[in-house]
Structure 1
Amino acid sequence: MSGTSSRQHDGNLPAEATSFVDRRREISEAKRLLSTARLLTLTGVGGVGKTRLALRVASGVRRAFTDGVWLVELAALQDRTLLEQTVADAVGVRDRSARSPLEVLVGYLRDRQLLLVLDNCEHLADRCAGLATHLLPAAPGLRILATSRHALSTPGEHILAVPPLPVPDPELPSHPEKLVGNEAIRLFAERATLVRPDFAVTSDNHGTLARICRRLDGLPLAIELAAARLRELTPEQILHRLDDRFRLLRGGSQAVLPRHQTLRAVVDWSFELCSPPEQTLWARVSVFAGGFDLDAVEALCAGDGIDRDQVLELVTGLVDKSILTREDQHHGSQARYRLLDTLRHYGQDVLRATGEEAVLRRRHRDYYLGLAERGEAEWFGPTQQEVSARTRREHPNLRAALEFSLSTPGESHKGLRLAAALYFYWQGCGFMAEGRHWLDRALARDTEPSKARANVLWTNAHLAVMQGDVPAAMALVEECRAWAQARGAVTTLAYAICVRGLVSWFSGDLPRSQALLEDALARFEALGELNSTMIKAYLALIVVAVFQGDLARAVALGQHARALCERHGEQWARAYTLHGLSFAEWVRGEVAQATRHAKESLRGMRVFSDTHGTAVLVERLAWIAGTAGEFERAAVLLGAADQIWPLVGGQPLMGFPHYVAAHEACERQARRVLGDRAFQAAFRRGNVLGLDQAIAYALGEPPQPAPASPAIGTKPLTPLTRREQQVAELVAAGLSNKDIAARLVIAQRTAEGHVERILTKLGFPTRTQLAVWVTEQRKTQER
């Protein structure tokens, strides 16, 4: 059954952490071009604000794309062959087939109306161009908005050069009400208030600020770095130092573009203003890909001149100087930080020059190998959700660690260990295709027989069989089994036998599958091995028992496996066990039990964002509804499942004939009872549900109204008291805490308390963001 309809998905655009300054002309021109162009590339020098402009434009056109606007961050991607997989991950596709990621993307995007924002393409320009060449003709509703320091140079590309901000003439008088009318000065002023909340543009300092912005060629990043200096310098001192620096710069290479020279000079100056330990830390944290937390910085960067107990102070100093950015999202109790791409490249140059790069990259790899192995050990236990979230956060760093290990001579053995240790992640968090990519690379790189290689062999075989790639799985597991038998490696042999049993299961040889899986389980029990792979063996045995008509045994197996999971606090494998139990109970006609197990399993799948398990269970609940005579509900659920399947490769139930027969029987009976017209209407109702809405419907939860999309840079409205609203308005007017206290005739400490409570209540880290929020609330009320 297939159905096409409009599906409203917002996408994954992040909220802006700091306010955005105008760019009205560029925004208008980009929107105009996107209305006709299929591929628009924003080009410009580093630090000119391409990413921020792209996000603002994408947010502004979001309503035009019924299937969402999706940001694909490419700055940290080192393995260019993972581009297509990275795009698929970003749009939420968790394909479980053995098809190429490009083929998966083409199939998924073919009938969708969607905008892809490919950010920081310069180091992958040819690969991005090739991707666009494949996707755009195949997907008429697709548009691509790219950012790059240079064009992608592919047919059909439209280019919008992003200029620096316009700068004012310092000699022209400015009226008081227009002091911050210029975009560059307004940007300087807004960033200045982050370090000096009482800073304001006045007729006295306007000329100096104008000269600073002109000296910096209107480059946003340069202006932001200069504004951070107001913590310790006056505007006049900043201008004086810039003048000195640019007089020295004139003696440099004439081959470098002036604006490149400008940015380099300001970054150089920012680096020189850091203390020697801060400079060292800046260079060392450049080995991270994407974000990182304080624990990681302490583990990698302490030593050789930096004491561990100095690290927090140094990180704080780099945040204060606008070198490190504190990420707005909260991840448990740990703050996370990142370097802007331009500053990361600068730090890498410094690190390379010091001769420390290889040492730091090994430390980085070893740290994330330890994190992966810790996750592997903790996965089957009560902290499973935390392990899942932690590993997802560190995905870019894990990729970087794998790339280093598998591309650096002498490091491949640890690459084997890392790729195998992440097995729980590849399988349990939906990254099977990428897992196979790294496991294949590890096997090709390190060919010497070893325990680590054997672990990669059975791990890769398990992923291959879950993708339906039976021939590859067979070859991999047989090599593993031969090694284990020759070495007497009893644990490895148990895993090889288990995976071989799964291969037989997928091949349809049920008696052989049952014998192998029971053998493997007996070995696991004797060895004291207990993990998700073992529970997956129980799941396979449940299904085998159902297909062989031994329903009592199927239920007993499921109850035993569920008890094992619950005894250890495991949730993911428990969800799959309940999935098997729901199937067994449905086949033996226990509709209430089947429904209860399926819904409980679906709740577990939702916790771990397991899209494939979700699709299976929404489908299963349709069959159960049909059995219960709820044919309209069955049709809605079939429609909901139909729009989830493309997210996992569009191959319902991996081609199992028993499942396909159940699907067809459910649809046929619902059509017969409802009639074609009523069936199609109900199917369409399910087909327009987003993933979260489909899950809620399947669980019988009341529908949640779609939240209004706040303007970018704002937070959803959180009620303030009348006094808090007064204080917020005064903060937006630019008053300091002292001035607020005087205006409201309250103690300064009381004013400070009000401001802190408001920031906490609304979730803003700075007064500037609060001011932007107040302004947006006014606009909303005026509408």
Structure 2
Amino acid sequence: MYGLLTDGYAPYLMRRDQRTGDHRHGSSVQPPRPGNLPLELNAFVGRTDELAALAAALEAGRLVTVTGVGGVGKSRLALRAASVAEPRDGAWLVDLTAVRDPDLVEHAVADALRLTDHTRRTPRQVLLDHLAEREVLLVIDGFEHLVEACASLVGDLLHRSPGLRVLAVGRRPLDTGCERILPLAPLPPPDATALFADRAAAGLPGFAVDEGNATDVAELCRRLDGIPLAVELAAGRLRALSPAQLLSRLDDRFALLTGVRRDAPPRHQTLRTAIGWSHELCTTGERLLWSRLSVFCGPFDLEAAEYICSGEGLHADDVLDVLGELLAQSVVTREEGPTGVRYRMLDTVRAYGADWLEATGDAARMRRRHRDWYMGLATWCELDWFSPRQARVAELVDCELPNLRGALEYCLTEPDETRLGQYLAGSLWFYWVGCGRLAEGRHWLDRALELDGGHDESRLKALWVLGYVAVLQGDTVAALAALQECKDEAERTGSAIATAYAVHRIGCLALLADDMERAETLLRSALEQYREIGELNSNVLMGQVELAMALAFRGKLADAVELCEDVRQVCEDHGERWTLAYALYVLGFAAWTRGEAATARDLVMRSLALDHAFNDLLGTVLAIELLALFTAMEGDPDEAAVLQGAASRIWPSVGLPLFGSGNFGGPHALCESQAREQLGDARYEECVAVGARLAPDAAVSRALRTEPGSNAKTRRLPHHEGRAGDGLKQGELRPGQRA
């Protein structure tokens, strides 16, 4: 019905010095600095004075906003300035163009900084804690539709993070008291001509501004007011038209579009002229696809465009050819990442297409088709999570998150769509729970369940997923309320599947509360219900692992091992890796209890590598705690204390350390007792402090006894702070180094 998505995209966010080094005589390549600024793909033309002014403003103030008309080059200037800045903890780009909900601004900033947090702390508090002692430059781009939320967040961060500087980029200021504003004017004639020549030569090899076309090119750039976007669009048309032909076509198109909105300021009319002129040069099919592509909230792939944008006036088989023409005209850009080729529209170009879509009266139908496609994507990904493609599913949802957010927003704001919104938020449970997105999952689930969508299967699913998320966040009150409501309504309506999931997650609450007898009873009941209805997926396997944990804590090691070996076999048969990590953890715990030290270490290290690959901080920190104990038992109390310190840094991003559980906390307590006895309190605390300065990537690498970034088995390493983020100084402890 929906088709299968085979292409995906994950943007390459790399600093220039990650690809290039200083090769001058006598110098060596420097290690990459932390940050996520994109690599420049073409020449940066002009703006020498503006760059100097921006650098001076950043030296003088902690908040600088570059303002100006859309398409004038604000983002490019800001990124160039940020790329030459050298804050100790990196320059980070926060792109808000695809964010529509003000409540998600803080999530977007946390995402850009690659922060993961499973606790009940607000994203703002997570950001404040992270930035408190760091020297960071944040480049916040595309905030104009979220001014109030951004101004509030930026003001708070600047007041409480002395090492933070913010470079904002938008069509208007943030209007905060400490803001320095740098208005950006269009390019002067010489630079506009140089830009035109560079972009034209890239698309039409051999083109050059010469005596035969210099006058036409200069007049063309003048008529386009030196706006870089307009100049680049014009240069892209040289495949079909000469500079003289381009110039001759501007007269009528400018006259036609200048008065489209007579109440708009001149700068908006000028931009609309530039984009509208490119629009007028398109064929009917190209204009139609342009308008329909505006429904996407972020990058998209070909299959999505073919499904959503086809229909009256445009057959699905023709979408690829028409899309190719839009690519040639720079209306759409092509990007390639680890999961394949994807396409993107500049925000101003997309907005122009959206106006035309509204004018055609087809916007509502396009938004429904967009919703349908991403509902299908979520459904397919949920099913495919239990398969050998689990890691690819995680990457695909990462790439499609802006569009999934758009579909969720549509469902939760349109009449009669609530039920589908609840279904969509619930179907993404594997992403919220398995890929470090608990806080955002909680946001959407809370919103969906605040609305009255009835008590059908969609709402019941959202309830048990909310309960699951809240359990992992340590919010036992919210978890129990959601799960009890789900159980009561499921029993009333005869929903066997919702009843099983509710009982399962209530059993998890008992497990974390150290009520092992009740946990065993509830988990066995849930597993029996799963068998009766024929349910088999990652949730069911996780229920077996959780039952095994309860049995192991009660001393029933043989039964626990039998359950986890069964889980391991099913995971191997189906290619499932996320649940396998937890099964390996329990098997490692059992092996240690039996005195099989080498086997225990091997199992838990494999568990840690898998957890880290999925960015599952809960599994990661549990494994590090157990490896710390093994290290102490092996006679290395210094390193054991360092690993405990590393775990102490991760726990606040997960929830209550060790869930406040005596059973889960047992290995930690034993490790600490032995390490303190051998080291003394002062030395123990010194080693713990060293570990507490390790960033998560560095902590995992240390626990695995590898160099940072060397774990080739991971889906992706979340470089939260880069190598500089490990917080270690010369002379401090390193993996394998005794204190």
Q: TM-score range by the shorter chain?
A: 0.7 to 0.9
Task: Evaluate the alpha carbon distance shift between residue 654 and residue 90 of structure 1 in structure 2; reply closer, same or farther with a 3 A threshold.
Answer: farther
Q: Which residue of the partner structure matches residue 175 of structure 1?
A: none
Structure 2 CA distance for aligned equivalents of residues 526 and 430 of structure 1? 31
Structure 2 CA distance for aligned equivalents of residues 336 and 507 of structure 1? 46
Which of 347, 361, 370 is the equivalent residue of 2:367? 361
1:330 equivalent in alignment to 2:327: no
Structure 2 CA distance for aligned equivalents of residues 420 and 360 of structure 1? 24
Q: How far off is 1:11 after superposition? A: 2.2
Task: Evaluate the alpha carbon distance shift between residue 396 and residue 553 of structure 1 in structure 2; reply closer, same or farther with a 3 A threshold.
Answer: same
Q: How far off is 1:193 after superposition? A: 2.0
Instruction: Report if aligned partners of 1:464, 1:473 keep a CA contact under 8 Å in 2.
Output: yes
Which of 458, 472, 493 is the equivalent residue of 1:487? 493
Segments of structure 2 that go 5 or more residues without pairing to the other structure are 1-30, 712-739
Give the TM-score normalised by the residue count of structure 2. Answer: 0.88
Structure 2 CA distance for aligned equivalents of residues 414 and 650 of structure 1? 30
Task: Evaluate the alpha carbon distance shift between residue 674 and residue 481 of structure 1 in structure 2; reply closer, same or farther with a 3 A threshold.
Answer: same
Structure 2 CA distance for aligned equivalents of residues 585 and 155 of structure 1? 61
Structure 2 CA distance for aligned equivalents of residues 677 and 200 of structure 1? 71
Task: Evaluate the alpha carbon distance shift between residue 8 and residue 225 of structure 1 in structure 2; reply closer, same or farther with a 3 A threshold.
Answer: closer
CA displacement, residues 584-603 of structure 1 (integer Å, 9 cap, x when unaligned): 33344322122111111122
Q: Which residue of the partner structure matches residue 608 of structure 2?
A: 602
Structure 1 CA distance for aligned equivalents of residues 695 and 486 of structure 2? 42
Instruction: Report if aligned partners of 2:143, 2:170 keep a CA contact under 8 Å in 1.
Output: yes
1:238 equivalent in alignment to 2:262: no
Structure 2 CA distance for aligned equivalents of residues 15 and 318 of structure 1? 23
Task: Evaluate the alpha carbon distance shift between residue 252 and residue 360 of structure 1 in structure 2; reply closer, same or farther with a 3 A threshold.
Answer: closer
Once the two structures are overlaid, the 10-residue window that deviates more, 422-431 or 337-346, is 422-431
CA displacement, residues 141-164 of structure 1 (integer Å, 9 cap, x when unaligned): 222221110011112122111221
Which of 7, 30, 55 is the equivalent residue of 1:31? 55
Q: How far off is 1:119 after superposition? A: 1.1
Structure 2 CA distance for aligned equivalents of residues 341 and 492 of structure 1? 42
What SS does structure 1 have at the residue aligned with 2:137?
strand
Q: Which residue of the partner structure matches residue 694 of structure 1?
A: 699
1:449 equivalent in alignment to 2:455: yes
Give the TM-score normalised by the residue count of structure 1. Answer: 0.83
CA displacement, residues 185-213 of structure 1 (integer Å, 9 cap, x when unaligned): 22112211232011122244333322222
What SS does structure 1 have at the residue aligned with 2:192?
helix
1:82 equivalent in alignment to 2:88: no
Structure 2 counterparts to residues 465-614 of structure 1, below 5 A? 465-614=471-620
Task: Evaluate the alpha carbon distance shift between residue 109 and residue 702 of structure 1 in structure 2; reply closer, same or farther with a 3 A threshold.
Answer: closer
Q: Which residue of the partner structure matches residue 129 of structure 2?
A: 107
Instruction: Report if aligned partners of 1:470, 1:507 keep a CA contact under 8 Å in 2.
Output: no
Which of 45, 65, 78 is the equivalent residue of 2:88? 65
What SS does structure 2 have at the residue aligned with 1:394?
helix
Q: How far off is 1:418 after superposition? A: 0.9
Task: Evaluate the alpha carbon distance shift between residue 54 and residue 628 of structure 1 in structure 2; reply closer, same or farther with a 3 A threshold.
Answer: same
Q: Which residue of the partner structure matches residue 732 of structure 1?
A: none
Instruction: Report if aligned partners of 2:66, 2:182 keep a CA contact under 8 Å in 1.
Output: yes
Q: How far off is 1:248 after superposition? A: 5.4
What SS does structure 2 have at the residue aligned with 1:457?
helix
Q: How far off is 1:550 after superposition? A: 2.5
Task: Evaluate the alpha carbon distance shift between residue 49 and residue 133 of structure 1 in structure 2; reply closer, same or farther with a 3 A threshold.
Answer: same
Once the two structures are overlaid, the 10-residue window that deviates more, 26-35 or 191-200, is 26-35
Once the two structures are overlaid, the 10-residue window that deviates more, 576-585 or 403-412, is 576-585
Instruction: Report if aligned partners of 1:8, 1:688 keep a CA contact under 8 Å in 2.
Output: no
Alignment identity in percent? 46
Which of 189, 197, 204 is the equivalent residue of 1:189? 197
Report the residue type matching 2:118 in the other structure. Answer: R
What SS does structure 2 have at the residue aligned with 1:143?
strand
Structure 2 counterparts to residues 159-198 of structure 1, below 5 A? 159-168=181-190, 183-198=191-206
Q: Which residue of the partner structure matches residue 214 of structure 1?
A: 222
1:40 equivalent in alignment to 2:64: yes
Structure 2 CA distance for aligned equivalents of residues 655 and 149 of structure 1? 49
Instruction: Report if aligned partners of 2:51, 2:81 keep a CA contact under 8 Å in 1.
Output: yes
Structure 2 CA distance for aligned equivalents of residues 186 and 474 of structure 1? 65
CA displacement, residues 532-561 of structure 1 (integer Å, 9 cap, x when unaligned): 222222232232223222233332222222
Instruction: Report if aligned partners of 2:293, 2:309 keep a CA contact under 8 Å in 1.
Output: yes
Q: How far off is 1:24 after superposition? A: 2.3
Q: How far off is 1:84 after superposition? A: 1.1
Q: How far off is 1:686 after superposition? A: 4.4
What SS does structure 2 have at the residue aligned with 1:72?
strand
Which of 255, 266, 287 is the equivalent residue of 1:258? 266
What SS does structure 2 have at the residue aligned with 1:335?
strand
Instruction: Report if aligned partners of 1:217, 1:259 keep a CA contact under 8 Å in 2.
Output: no
Number of equivalenced pairs: 681
Task: Evaluate the alpha carbon distance shift between residue 357 and residue 519 of structure 1 in structure 2; reply closer, same or farther with a 3 A threshold.
Answer: same
What SS does structure 2 have at the residue aligned with 1:70?
strand
Instruction: Report if aligned partners of 2:188, 2:226 keep a CA contact under 8 Å in 1.
Output: yes
1:12 equivalent in alignment to 2:36: yes
Report the residue type matching 1:78 in the other structure. Answer: R
Q: Which residue of the partner structure matches residue 424 of structure 1?
A: 430
Q: Which residue of the partner structure matches residue 97 of structure 1?
A: 119
Q: How far off is 1:651 after superposition? A: 4.7
Task: Evaluate the alpha carbon distance shift between residue 570 and residue 250 of structure 1 in structure 2; reply closer, same or farther with a 3 A threshold.
Answer: closer
Structure 2 CA distance for aligned equivalents of residues 411 and 318 of structure 1? 33
Report the residue type matching 1:200 in the other structure. Answer: A
CA displacement, residues 723-755 of structure 1 (integer Å, 9 cap, x when unaligned): xxxxxxxxxxxxxxxxxxxxxxxxxxxxxxxxx
Q: Which residue of the partner structure matches residue 753 of structure 1?
A: none
What SS does structure 1 have at the residue aligned with 2:535?
coil
Q: Which residue of the partner structure matches residue 125 of structure 1?
A: 147
Structure 1 CA distance for aligned equivalents of residues 615 and 709 of structure 2? 19
CA displacement, residues 121-142 of structure 1 (integer Å, 9 cap, x when unaligned): 0000011001112222222222
Structure 1 CA distance for aligned equivalents of residues 264 and 152 of structure 2? 30
Instruction: Report if aligned partners of 1:228, 1:321 keep a CA contact under 8 Å in 2.
Output: yes
Report the residue type matching 1:669 in the other structure. Answer: Q
Report the residue type matching 1:102 in the other structure. Answer: R
Q: How far off is 1:22 after superposition? A: 3.6
Instruction: Report if aligned partners of 1:48, 1:220 keep a CA contact under 8 Å in 2.
Output: yes
Q: How far off is 1:658 after superposition? A: 4.0
Structure 2 CA distance for aligned equivalents of residues 703 and 251 of structure 1? 58
Q: Which residue of the partner structure matches residue 282 of structure 1?
A: 290
Task: Evaluate the alpha carbon distance shift between residue 37 and residue 668 of structure 1 in structure 2; reply closer, same or farther with a 3 A threshold.
Answer: farther
Once the two structures are overlaid, the 10-residue window that deviates more, 376-385 or 283-292, is 376-385
Structure 2 CA distance for aligned equivalents of residues 21 and 343 of structure 1? 22
Report the residue type matching 1:370 in the other structure. Answer: G
Q: How far off is 1:682 after superposition? A: 5.1
Q: Which residue of the partner structure matches residue 56 of structure 1?
A: 80
CA displacement, residues 662-681 of structure 1 (integer Å, 9 cap, x when unaligned): 43543453354345676566
CA displacement, residues 482-504 of structure 1 (integer Å, 9 cap, x when unaligned): 11212222122111110111122
Structure 2 counterparts to residues 718-757 of structure 1, below 5 A? none
Once the two structures are overlaid, the 10-residue window that deviates more, 31-40 or 183-192, is 31-40
What SS does structure 2 have at the residue aligned with 1:549?
coil
Instruction: Report if aligned partners of 2:233, 2:329 keep a CA contact under 8 Å in 1.
Output: yes
Structure 2 counterparts to residues 742-781 of structure 1, below 5 A? none
| RMSD of aligned Cα (Å) | 2.4
